[in-house]
Chain A
Amino acid sequence: MKLKIGVDIGGLALKNPVMTASGTFGYGEEYSDYLDLNRLGAIIVKGLSLKSREGNPPPRIVETASGMLNAVGLQNVGVRTFIDEKLPWLRSIDSAVVANIFGETIEDYANVAEILNDAEGVDAVEVNISCPNVKRGGIAFGSDPVLAGEVTRVVKDVSHLPVIVKLTPNVTDITEIARATEAAGADALSLINTITGMSVDIEKRVPHLENVTGGLSGPAIKPVALRMVWEVVNAVSIPVIGVGGIMNARDALEFLIVGAKAVQVGTANFINPGIATDIIDDIRKYMLEKGINDINDLIGTLEV
């Protein structure tokens, strides 16, 4: 039986619903020894800013119960260096490439999105709106529906590519932000980004992270992510991509059943660099077992 596992994410065609999450997969090349990159639905590269960024001082990571906190601080080579030095290699890979972008001002976002228009080999843009807006007292773009809508609209206005907006879970009501970004023209949404947390060294009485707080990821956040995806799927009509603590195909299938059209595998790549293609294989096995010919017949079939 020939299984159909391709999905369409707001104009971005994926050969299967498994993507690798930004910040956990480098620029793709880092993983070329560990899995066949050509088999991935999409590779989402490390978040890109207008200029290169050094990120936060170490320690940047600490393990927590069933997860980890990171305060890497969006270290990246900058969008132009990405295009010149990282993208040529990625063009040889037969998987969709999604450029994750962020900025400190609305103009930054627009500039990065515009530069990527001319970059051959980039198939979509994912907008990280979890960053603080330096021009408005540091409030995160993604925690305010008006700001989130503004960033989305500006990127949509300049970009020729499908625009995915990545939502932060650090909000009171994620559906409010989801609706605002949908109204501003987002082609798809991905959620969740990391949950802000902290961890303390009781011997020295200092935070484990130099940055004090960091983003929690890993299986610890999966139930929260799943709940939020469920809420957002019911609130918007654009495609939703499920992200958060996916460690295996069972986890991925939960998101698909809840209504996500695709998933992103993140922290699990650190634990097992070959996990993303294992998940694709195991999703196929599940479909064969259940007699599901087309993955789209599974998506959003949750009965409540």
Chain B
Amino acid sequence: MKPYISVTVFSQRETVKGHFLIVMKVPASFRESLPGQFVMVRMKSCDQPFLSRPFSIYSVYSHGKDTFMEILYKVVGKGTEAFSRLREGDILNILGPLGKGFDIPSKCDKIVLIAGGVGIAPLSFLAERCEKDTDGAEIICYIGAGSLETIVGMDRMNGICSVVEISTDDGSWGHAGTVTELFRRDVELYEDNDSRIYSCGPNPMLGSLNELLKDRPVTCQVSLEERMACGIGACLGCVVKTKSGSLVRVCKEGPVFDINSVEFSEHNG
């Protein structure tokens, strides 16, 4: 049986405006977490917010005997606001790891990561694993943010990737515009079977990336975000439509999907 477990907050800090990095001490079994998988999180001490919140895993690592899990998140509402007030020693209830992660190639020339905002979180975890597990891969990252103050997760990517390209909506840093536009400039470089593209970000961004990549041979996986009540496939709150018209649950069949398999709706952009 895999119930919710109580974990202790090891540390928390605001990394850039409105974005928090929380580190939890977790059981050693969490070392089996795969990039792209998520956890359901809620307060231990009170029943508000009522529902657990799903978060992509940002990293899992061991230090001595202890195992730590990191979550990188943006404050967007009541739940994330409450989490942002947590301090060292506070207790959370978590369930996971859940869902299907990214496919990690054992051998590959170029791994391209395209992140929109806090969508960097699962991609950063993926980059860490590819650095270890994928033979001979050059890892390249494109990061999109609203402005200079909200570029999140860049430092870690700088340590792993050969190239980190930045775009900001307001042009305060890097390319002025969207990250998909920035990537469009380079797309021809990755059009072969030895490149893999991975992306996570708001749905309109993934939709425009899908548009850009359609009819190209390159493999691209995306991680989707949806509201969830249970995280285990029962509430049917997180369903999305596939291109063939059927419904899939982001929590169970995803959150990682082939970019060509799902429709990108606008509602949660």
Question: Which A residues lie at the B interface, using CB under 8 A?
Answer: 24-26, 30-31, 33-36, 54-55, 57-68, 70, 72, 75, 210, 218-219, 247, 267, 269-274
Contact = CB atoms under 8 A, between A and B. Distances in A.
Interface string B1-12: 111100000000
A59 B227 CA distance: 8
Contacts of A24: 234-235
Contacts of B49: 63
A61 B232 contact: no
B233 A26 contact: yes
Interface of B: 1-4, 42, 47-52, 78-79, 95, 226-230, 232-240, 247, 265, 267-268
B234 A61 contact: no
A58 B1 contact: no
Contacts of B48: 66
Nearest to B93: A272
A213 to B, nearest CB: 16
Chief secondary structure at chain B's binding surface = loop
B230 A68 contact: no
A103 to B, nearest CB: 19
A31 B50 contact: no
A67 B3 CA distance: 21
Given A58-B240, A58-B267, A63-B51, A269 B234 contact: yes
B51 A60 contact: no
Given A72-B235, A270-B234, A271-B50, A34 B265 contact: no
B204 to A, nearest CB: 15
A30 B233 contact: yes
Given A68-B229, A270-B229, A61 B3 contact: no
Contacts of B235: 24, 61, 70, 72, 270
Nearest first, the 5 closest Cβ-Cβ pairs linking A and B are A61-B237, A270-B230, A270-B229, A26-B234, A274-B3
Contacts of A67: 50
B58 to A, nearest CB: 24
B51 A273 contact: no
Contacts of A35: 1
Nearest to B95: A273
Contact of A75 (B52, B79, B239): B239
Given A75-B239, A272-B3, 11 more contacts: A30-B233, A58-B240, A60-B227, A61-B227, A66-B47, A66-B48, A68-B51, A75-B247, A267-B229, A271-B42, A273-B230
